[in-house]
Amino acid sequence: MKAVLVLEDGTYFSGQSLGAYGEVYGEVVFNTSMAGYQEIITDPSYNGHIVIMTYPLIGNYGFNSEDVESLKIHVEGFAVKELCEYPNNWRNEISPNEYFVKNNIVGIKGIDTRALAQHIRQSGSMYGVISTRTGHINVLLEELEKKKRMKRNLVDEVSTREIIHIPGSGKKVTVLDFGINNSVIKSLENRGCDITILPCNTSLEDILSLNPDGVLLSNGPGDPRDLPDAASTVRQLTGIKPIFGVGLGLQVLALALGLEVFKLKFGHHGPNHSVKDFVTGRCYVTSQNHNFAVINDRATAETKNIEFTHININDGTIEGIRHKELPLRGIQFYPETSPGLGDASYLFDDFVAMM
């Protein structure tokens, strides 16, 4: 079956249908990973996004029931150059196309994903559509403009609706769930933490009623400026409890501390971003997934007693912050090990020590 991917600037790519029949809309971003595609598809931070994989062959080790970052699919759509029809791996349980059909993922294959990624790098990330229903570009562009104007609360769509408790014998960690990954939870579990996961809109009083040793602000999708209530709650928590922000959680913490954020031209999506730690002097290869970053305004940070601890070597954007006096810190990248090298997993140890 034929399929087409259309960007809001009129650029389009024709290919073959992948997975389910239908039409999906979202912000188009590209991911540079060679592997980890199942983790990417189930990462809540990709809610609202159509993901383009730049590596030319995807699906060669198939899919299984274990390598997931959440209990459901979160990508809006998926695009690859070539999909492996016959995966070969001892952990494989289902073929890629069967997985996409089963989970109702609308995708496209057989397109030049590197040319598409280059276009996004030059023009910036933009809204797009994948359709197997029609190839009429003008019709899709009209509908695309309507969908783009529709406001979505991406965090609310992925945040837990109920309190989840994972018992442990160590420090009591309360998690504000903006779209947390399973691997972040596992990293806390591996350190013996007693974990309570709360909805993103939980009040200060309800957080403090649990008497946690520390609060983790999770990763998640979208613009942190769409979460003023969460930033207000975090602002009130500062100085009361140790706080560790990851991904979107860092951005919410930054806003709570009086810093500003901006949208990146095409975002950071992939496992190969080099980051320098100014505290240790080391460089780490990190996994990242975000479209926003903290503005590199050292003068303002200094007035608020904040220091920048990590920087992206590729483009100089801020990757880590911490307060000079209070137990507050945030990391823009994923400190857990899945998918990626696990270079930055020491940051969970730092969080436990901070508590």
CA distance 328 to 351: 9
What are the tens digits of pLDDT across the range 229-284?
999 999 999 999 999 999 999 999 999 999 999 999 999 999 888 999 998 889 98
Beta-strand runs (E) in 119-237: 126-131, 164-166, 172-177, 194-199, 214-217
Q: What is the mean pLDDT of residues 151-179?
A: 96
Kindly state whether residues 27 and 176 are assigned to the same domain: no
Last residue of a domain, one of 117, 150, 183: 150
Looking at the predicted structure, is the pLDDT value of residue 342 above 80?
no
- pLDDT confidence of residue 341: 58
Last residue of a domain, one of 117, 132, 150: 150
Kindly state whether residues 189 and 329 are assigned to the same domain: yes
Q: What is the mean pLDDT of residues 93-107?
A: 94
- pLDDT confidence of residue 337: 56
Res. 44 pLDDT band, cuts 50 70 90: very high
Domain of residue 270, residue span: 155-354
CATH number at residue 167: 3.40.50.880
Compute the Cα dihedral for 262, 146, 79, 69 and give only its sign: positive
Place of tokens 């602002």: 235
- pLDDT confidence of residue 340: 53
Break the chain down into helix, strand, coil percent, rounded to 5.
25, 35, 40
Kindly state whether residues 280 and 338 are assigned to the same domain: yes
Kindly state whether residues 343 and 221 are assigned to the same domain: yes
Last residue of a domain, one of 150, 182, 216: 150
Phi, psi at 6, each rounded to 5°: -120, 130
Looking at the predicted structure, is the pLDDT value of residue 328 above 90?
yes
Res. 190 pLDDT band, cuts 50 70 90: very high
- pLDDT confidence of residue 343: 66
What average pLDDT does the structure give for the chain?
94
Kindly state whether residues 190 and 295 are assigned to the same domain: yes
Kindly state whether residues 159 and 143 are assigned to the same domain: no
Greatest CA separation for the chain: 60
Kindly state whether residues 257 and 341 are assigned to the same domain: yes
Kindly state whether residues 162 and 132 are assigned to the same domain: no
Looking at the predicted structure, is the pLDDT value of residue 23 above 90?
yes
Radius of gyration of the chain (CA): 20
- pLDDT confidence of residue 272: 85
- pLDDT confidence of residue 338: 55
- pLDDT confidence of residue 71: 87
- Residue 318 is given by DSSP the state E
Kindly state whether residues 179 and 114 are assigned to the same domain: no
CA distance 239 to 305: 13
Q: How many structural domains does the chain have?
A: 2
Q: Beginning with the edge strand found earlier in the chain, give each strand of the sheet holding 172-177 in spatial order.
A: 164-166, 194-199, 172-177, 214-217, 243-246, 328-331, 318-323, 306-312, 261-277, 283-294
Looking at the predicted structure, is the pLDDT value of residue 59 above 60?
yes
CATH number at residue 14: 3.50.30.20
Q: Report the predicted TM-score, pTM, of the whole model to 2 decimal places.
A: 0.94
Task: Please spell the DSSP secondary structure of 10-29, one letter per residue.
Answer: S-EEEEEEEESSSEEEEEEE
State whether residue 221 is helix, strand or coil: coil
Looking at the predicted structure, is the pLDDT value of residue 323 above 90?
yes
Kindly state whether residues 95 and 198 are assigned to the same domain: no
Kindly state whether residues 292 and 238 are assigned to the same domain: yes
Kindly state whether residues 192 and 273 are assigned to the same domain: yes
- pLDDT confidence of residue 269: 94
Residue 10: closest CA among 124, 140, 130:
140
For the CA atoms of 319, 322, 327, 329, what is the dihedral angle to 10 degrees?
-10
Give the whole-number percent of the chain exceeding pLDDT 70. 98
Place of tokens 């259309």: 6
- pLDDT confidence of residue 275: 93
What are the tens digits of pLDDT across the range 68-95?
999 899 999 999 999 998 999 999 999 9
- pLDDT confidence of residue 279: 85
